[in-house]
Amino acid sequence: MPAFDYVGVDAAGKKHRGVEEADSVRQVRQLLRDRGWVPVEIRQAAQQQRSVGGMGILGQRISAWDLALLTRQLATLVQAGIPLEEALRALSRQAAKPQVRSVMTAVRAKVLEGYTLAQGMAEFPGAFPELYRATVHAGEQSGHLDGVLMQLADYTESRFETRKKVQHALIYPVMLTMLSVLIIVALMTWVVPDIVRVFDSSHQQLPLLTRGLIATSSLFRHWLWLMVLMLVAGLFFLRRALRQPAVRLQYDALLLRVPLVGALIRDANTARMAATLSILSQSGVPLVEGLRICVNVMTNGVLRQAVHGAAVAVTEGGSLARALDQSGRFSPMMVQMIASGEQSGDLDTMLHKAATMQERELSSLITTLVGLFEPMMLLLMAGVVLIIVLAIMLPIVSMNNLVHG
């Protein structure tokens, strides 16, 4: 039975949104009228989902937290022996957000039509990533959907917690950077001009540092709007240029060469790749297919090329560890752990350990960067203030020497 998203208006003029299962739009319209509501809009949930590019009822994607929560709840219900259709019904009824309710109701409708759970989720690529769908498909094919869902629940929760840690770690540095920029702009735009105005009537030659400060202050006062406009335009054109594959690849290669930043990007991508490949391998997905999915979950183009090359090598009968080692883009420790897993026949476990190791290194690197960022910003601010003070004091000292001379 298909699901429909509806919008109705009651006698008081209040709008009501929700999801209703029915045989047709006419039946949904009649159900709304029986409640005393005037039907305003009725659309089949799957059709609406596709029309907005895989987003929810309000044009929104399912958040990482909602996906992790849904996965844990579905895994618990399925492991308890509750039929899949009833489990999906329970999830759709208790969902607090309309977009989540719409998606789960539509997935249940596809399952009732005879489709598998993975096929039903495939109607909503914006809500369920390819990794998620491939893992569910493997669980259904192997007959161990409950265990696979439990593994997937652990994975989604772990990814959500890692993302939140990174976001929380970046809040303070971002705020400190913004505050520092605002303070510097305010000093150069309003404070410095008032202080150096006393030197305008002086006919003596001002020190080079003072003249540079006055010129910089004048630039900020008269052309700040132009600098902001140029910055916005530069970011806009950079974003457009990065849409071209060749430019994006060069940009990604440049980022990997930047000290600390390159290590951060590499650790984040390799941790994601190892964790993804681990859960896919444990779920029964072939190694080559798992590598192809890993390519799609990585953000750096150079590392994606390396994983794609590894997939080609594995297809031709080569070793995964050797292919990753030849690319030179992965840590020797991770490559060695994968090689050990291939030799012992326990690749799944070693991939999981490699993912855990990479995530720890990533967390340690983020902590180090955040720890270094605060003193660096303080030193930068102190340097700017010192330059301003010196630029102001030098002509004062020079005038004092002339008076006493």
What pLDDT is stored for residue 237 in this prediction? 93
Structurally, how many domains does the chain consist of? 2
pLDDT in tens, 100-111: 888 888 888 888
388 in the same domain as 355: yes
What pLDDT is stored for residue 232 in this prediction? 93
361 in the same domain as 348: yes
Strands 38-44 and 3-9: antiparallel
Find the mean pLDDT for residues 33-41. 83
Q: Which of 81, 106, 128 is the last residue of a domain?
A: 128
* Rounded distance between C-alpha atoms, residue 270 and residue 297, angstroms: 10
What pLDDT is stored for residue 233 in this prediction? 94
pLDDT of 249 > 80? The answer is yes
249 in the same domain as 161: yes
136 in the same domain as 60: no
pLDDT of 122 > 50? The answer is yes
Report which DSSP code applies to 346.
Answer: -
What pLDDT is stored for residue 230 in this prediction? 93
What pLDDT is stored for residue 58 in this prediction? 36
Which CA distances in Å does 98 have to 6, 84, 102, 103? 11, 21, 6, 9
Q: How sure is the predictor about 127, in pLDDT bands with cuts at 50, 70 and 90?
A: confident
Among the listed ranges 101-105, 124-128, 289-293, 401-405, which one has the minimum average pLDDT value? 401-405
141 in the same domain as 55: no
* Rounded distance between C-alpha atoms, residue 224 and residue 181, angstroms: 13
398 in the same domain as 299: yes
177 in the same domain as 100: no
> Which CATH number is 254's domain given?
1.20.81.30
pLDDT in tens, 177-189: 888 888 888 877 7
168 in the same domain as 272: yes
Q: List the domain range (segments joined by +) for residue 7.
A: 3-128
DSSP notation for 205-274: PPPHHHHHHHHHHHHHHHHHHHHHHHHHHHHHHHHHHTTSHHHHHHHHHHHHHSTTHHHHHHHHHHHHHH
Q: How sure is the predictor about 271, in pLDDT bands with cuts at 50, 70 and 90?
A: confident
What pLDDT is stored for residue 202 in this prediction? 61
Query: Which has more pLDDT, 328 or 144?
Result: 328
What pLDDT is stored for residue 48 in this prediction? 46
pLDDT of 400 > 70? The answer is no
DSSP SS3 for 195: helix
What pLDDT is stored for residue 229 in this prediction? 93
pLDDT of 231 > 50? The answer is yes
Q: Which of 128, 160, 194 is the last residue of a domain?
A: 128
pLDDT of 17 > 60? The answer is yes
Q: How many residues does the chain have?
A: 405
What pLDDT is stored for residue 403 in this prediction? 54
**Is the CB of residue 116 less than 8 Å from the CB of residue 84?**
no
pLDDT in tens, 149-161: 887 888 788 778 7
* Rounded distance between C-alpha atoms, residue 76 and residue 209, angstroms: 69
Find the mean pLDDT for residues 90-96. 82
* Rounded distance between C-alpha atoms, residue 117 and residue 101, angstroms: 16
Q: Which of 361, 335, 140, 157 has its CA nearest to residue 271?
A: 361
What pLDDT is stored for residue 242 in this prediction? 87
163 in the same domain as 111: no
Burial 374-400 (b: 16+ CB within 10 A, else e): eeeeeeeeeeeeeebeebbebbeebee
**Is the CB of residue 220 less than 8 Å from the CB of residue 189?**
yes
For the chain, report the end-to-end CA distance as a whole number of angstroms. Answer: 99
Instruction: Look up residue 12 and give its two tokens.
Output: 């008081």
Q: Which of 109, 128, 147 is the last residue of a domain?
A: 128
120 in the same domain as 201: no
* Alpha helices (runs of H) in 52-207, residue ranges in sequence order: 64-79, 84-94, 98-112, 117-122, 130-142, 145-186, 192-196
92 in the same domain as 205: no
166 in the same domain as 105: no
